A and B are shown apart, each in its own frame.
Chain A
Amino acid sequence: MMPLLLQQIANGLVIGSTYAVVALGFSLAFTVLRVINFAHPDIFMVGMFAGLVLAVPGPWGFVVALGAGALGAAAVGYALERTVISPLRGRDVLMTLIGTLGVAIMLENGMALIAGPDPVSYPNLLPREFVDIGPVTLTLRQVVNFAICLALLVLVSLYVRATKFGRATRAIAERPDVAAAFGVDVGRVCQATILIASAMAGVAAVSVGAMYGSAHAFVGLLYGLKAFTCMLVAGNRYFEGVMVVALGLGIIEALVTGYLSSSLRDAVAFFVLIGVLLFRPNGLFGSYAT
């Protein structure tokens, strides 16, 4: 009884940490730029493939792949920011959603054209080993994935809280007009935000690809809606709130899979969303006015 519970919680934390990275990227874009970036999950996907292409054998292979994932995703993120997001800033949120969704369709089907519509096997970047942590057994890949995602979350948290650019980011999130009046270069900070969110997604994508051993042109769909839900449930006042909700969602999903049925797993996110929207329409941790 207890071991299964702990095991499912551990599995949930691993998957939840990935949700958290993608959700944080969503949340950064939405909070700072007022843009729902539906291409974000597909930037994640591009990062995954960039890591796959540039993976080299050897002990440094994984690190090189992580770097490649970050660069690939950041490059796409930059192009997206220049061509679509920047012109759409300040428009209705829905227009940005539709515009970035168009980009998402292009990215997905473009990648399906290059890599084929079926899952592609990922190079063996990490050894297949099991790690026992107390009563819980995880694969080494799961542990590495969790560690990487957690590190990314901590880094972004530090960036937002402790750097000058990060403070500017929060200022824009709260009042863009006032921030601009106080000399914050809104355009530059917005670019930096998209770049950071993309690079972060790229790194996480490579580690997820290595964890599951496969990459898929349509992998973004799975993470996109979940991450989007996490962002809404948490509200956008605290970036850390998104992380907490994403980890929580991962755990709940793992528990539902373990104790109820796996077909109900994907439903959980939406029932949570409806419940939260009904009683706390601004999210669990509150939101800035939009």
Chain B
Amino acid sequence: MPSFAYFEPILIFTLLNVTMAMGLYITALSGQLSMATAAIAGVGAYLSAILTAKWGWPFLPAIVCAAAIGAVVGTLLALVTLRMRDFILKLTTLAFGEALSVLAFNWEYIGGANSFTGITLYTTLPQCVLAALLALYVAWRFDGSRLGFAARAVRDDPLAAGAMGVPLMRVRVITFALGSALVGIGGALQAHYLLVISPNELGFFVSLNFVIFLLFGGLQTLWGPVLGAALLTALPELLRFTSQYRLILYGLIIVLVVLVRPEGVLTRKPTGQARRLFGRILVPERPVGALAERPTDRPLPLGLVQRSAER
């Protein structure tokens, strides 16, 4: 049995990824599935590292600044992509992330290609637990708030939502900024645990990991991304006994989930076999339509027993 020292890093990375996945979940709720999560995390990481390592700030203000800069970058991205169609938005965020990565690569002050080093170890497990809990709480409150419902309306049909009086720009900017602030916190904590930030970590393929977390777990409930982030972060480690084959297995699992459960692992309503067997128990008869979707109707733990009708 490996000791706790073996599991601590895995636990920390899992919690941090859950934190950042919650950020992306909030952002994605208004239809902006950003491909720049790693870049935003990287901005938070670089800023907090500069503050603590170069300017001698204490840890907490540096984290707050990381959250703030995350929010600023999120706001900018939301404004730039405001009028863009779904697919183009994803590509723009993708290109933004890659451009930031290149910028970091060529900026000597923050280490450039040699990575930013000399960061002091501040991050501890309790802090990560705290960050993850904060992110969960924010996402949970957001999910059931008026803003959360406005965000879903904007995601499903921006035109109709606008016609019904939902302020499109405000909703998109707030969701992007709020989500990015959480991502910034996650990035800062990660930087002060890894003690090194390399420009490559801002790139597309790292960002894509977060998108995979969301789609793997399912975007219908808050718990989907949590499951996706936790499982897929820990999975390569848990598969370590298969050594060489673990990444192949990782790829296989992703393919299988996309093929077998295209809505993600956790869905509101049980589908397929699960629905046939347990549907009656898991989905009780409830009011259908607008009343079933009112803000007080919060998601229950594990997302199994949910609203009876989605539309």
Contacts and interface: CB of A to CB of B under 8 A. Distances in A.
B79 interface: no
B196 interface: no
A274 interface: yes
Interface of B: 33, 80, 84-85, 87-88, 90-92, 95-96, 98-99, 102, 105-106, 113, 204, 208, 211-212, 215-216, 244-245, 247-248, 250-255, 258-259, 262
Given A263-B106, A278-B92, A281-B85, 5 more contacts: A101-B208, A102-B253, A105-B254, A110-B248, A273-B98
B252 A264 contact: no
Contacts, number: 90
Interface string A127-161: 00000000000000000000000000000000000
Contacts of A105: 247-248, 250-251, 254
Nearest to A38: B208
A87 B261 CA distance: 12
State the main secondary structure of chain A at its contact with B. Answer: helix
Contact of B251 (A94, A104, A267, A290): A104
Contacts of B262: 91, 95
A232 interface: yes
Contact of B244 (A87, A94, A113): A113
Contact of A106 (B96, B204, B248, B259): B248
A106 B99 contact: no
A264 B95 contact: no
Given A94-B211, A270-B99, A263 B251 contact: no
Query: Interface size bucket, A side?
Result: 20 to 34
Contact of B259 (A87, A109, A110): A87
A103 interface: yes
Contact of A225 (B33, B92, B96, B204): B204
Contacts of B212: 98, 101
Contact of A84 (B87, B98, B253, B255): B255
B204 A99 contact: no
B258 A88 contact: yes
A256 to B, nearest CB: 12
Contacts of B96: 274
B85 A264 contact: no
Contacts of B251: 102-106, 109
Contacts of B106: 263-264, 267
